[in-house]
Structure 1
Amino acid sequence: MSTTTRSPSVALPIDDRARAMAFYREAFGFEPLGEPAEDGVPEPLMFLIDQRTVLLLIPRGGFGWVLGDDRELARPGTSECLMGMAVADEREVDGLVERVRGAGGEVLAEPERKPWGYTALCADPDGHVWQVTVQP
């Protein structure tokens, strides 16, 4: 096994850089990395979401360019992955859900107890779905 540090990243396509930055700051409390560009948003727009994992938010045109000509982006509103976040307690789930609403996101499933924990489903303004859970 290599001793190289691995830093996973997740990249999601977005429609509006400023809106996405504001949403992730307000709803999740993530702070963008890097110096702001002329539009006031760092380029690339990325957030450190834990000690090693980076969330990159890439405008759809640039995202398509990275994927190449032979791959098509999913239409807005189509979920191809589910982002997950474990939090400490039920109050934190409830609070995050309210911040998502206030920041322009959508609550897809209100917080409730399921066999795998207390959980809710939310979407960012671009339709990317997050499951927030407190495990039992």
Structure 2
Amino acid sequence: MNDIRFGYFPLTVDDVDEALAFYRDAVGLTVLSDVSGNGWRWLSLGTADQPGLAVVLSAPGAGRSPDDADALHRLIAKGAGPGPLVFAATDLDAAFERIRATGAEVLQEPMDQPWGPRDCAFRDPAGNMVRINGTA
């Protein structure tokens, strides 16, 4: 029996409030927790139909040394974060239009991919790539 499952995915952003607006208002995630202390802040966001699974947003300095925070901030500024972060939507076109309407940087409009899914791509405010696969 496999007792391993996905829990959360950390995502470093340069401005937690700006990222919150993108992932909550544009993508449609719900804030699950908002924890801060000693100058750091972590936000967990998820969906009701996938309990226990979350994206955790934090700034480069959250729980890291100043040197590591500076190095990570430079990578984020270049758009060289991990990724892409991939979501799925039953109505890809509606999700695309909702996110585009917020002014998010569009990397790819919805299109059929040779490897299977129909998807689109954006950059979040920190430069992280976000892809959305259609599931319908």
- Normalising to structure 1: TM-score of the pair? 0.74
CA apart distance, 1:52: 2.5
CA RMSD of aligned residues (A): 3.1
Aligned partner letter, 2:42: P
CA apart distance, 1:125: 0.7
Deviations 1:66-122 (A, max 9, x none): 7x85xx42342124321112222xxx2122222222334211011112231211111
Q: Quick one: distance in 2 between partners of 1:121 and 1:111?
A: 8
* 1:82 is the counterpart of 2:84: yes
* 1:125 is the counterpart of 2:125: yes
Q: Higher strand proportion, which one?
A: 2
Q: Quick one: distance in 1 between partners of 2:82 and 2:20?
A: 21
- Normalising to structure 2: TM-score of the pair? 0.74
The equivalent of 1:94 in structure 2 is 93
Give structure 2 stretches of 5+ with no counterpart.
none
Q: Quick one: distance in 2 between partners of 1:7 and 1:133?
A: 19
SS of equivalent residue, structure 1 residue 34: strand
Aligned length in residues? 126
Asked whether the 8 Å contact 1:105–1:125 carries over to 2, the reply is yes
Give structure 1 stretches of 5+ with no counterpart.
38-42
